[in-house]
Amino acid sequence: MTIAIASDHGGYALRQHLRTLLEAEGQELVDMGCASEEPVDYPPYAFRVAEAVAGGEADVGILICGTGIGMSLCANRVPGVRAAVVGDTYSARMSREHNDANVLCLGGRTLGPDLAAEIVRVWLATPFSGGERHRRRLAMVAQREGGGTPCCPSSNG
pTM (2 decimals)? Answer: 0.93
Q: What pLDDT is attached to residue 155? A: 39
Within a domain: 105: yes
DSSP H or E segment with residue 14: helix 12-24
Within a domain: 134: yes
Within a domain: 156: no
Q: Would residue 105 show up in a list of annotated catalytic residues for this protein?
A: no
Within a domain: 154: no
Residue 32 belongs to domain with CATH number: 3.40.1400.10
Looking at this protein, which amino acid is placed at residue 155?
Answer: S
Question: Please, which contacts does 26-30 make with residues 24 or more away whose CB atoms are closer than 8 Å?
Answer: 27/1, 27/3, 27/124, 28/1, 28/2, 28/3, 29/2, 29/3, 29/4, 29/5, 30/2, 30/3, 30/4, 30/5, 30/57, 30/58
43 lies in which domain range?
2-145
Q: What pLDDT is attached to residue 134? A: 97
Q: Which residues contact 98 (CB under 8 A, 6 or more apart)?
A: 129, 131, 134
Ramachandran area for residue 53 (φ above 0: left; ψ -120 to 50: alpha; else beta): alpha
**Residue stretches of the chain with pLDDT short of 50:** 152-157
Within a domain: 45: yes
Cα gap 130→98, rounded to integer Å: 8
Q: What pLDDT is attached to residue 122? A: 98
Q: What pLDDT is attached to residue 146? A: 82
Q: What pLDDT is attached to residue 95? A: 98
Within a domain: 155: no
Q: What pLDDT is attached to residue 73? A: 98
Q: What pLDDT is attached to residue 157? A: 44
Q: Would residue 134 show up in a list of annotated catalytic residues for this protein?
A: no
Within a domain: 39: yes
Number of domains composing the chain = 1
* Catalytic-labelled residue, pool 98, 134, 151, 152: 98
* Catalytic-labelled residue, pool 34, 65, 74, 105: 65
Q: Using alpha carbons, select from 106, 105, 96 the residue that is nearest to residue 138.
A: 96
Within a domain: 150: no
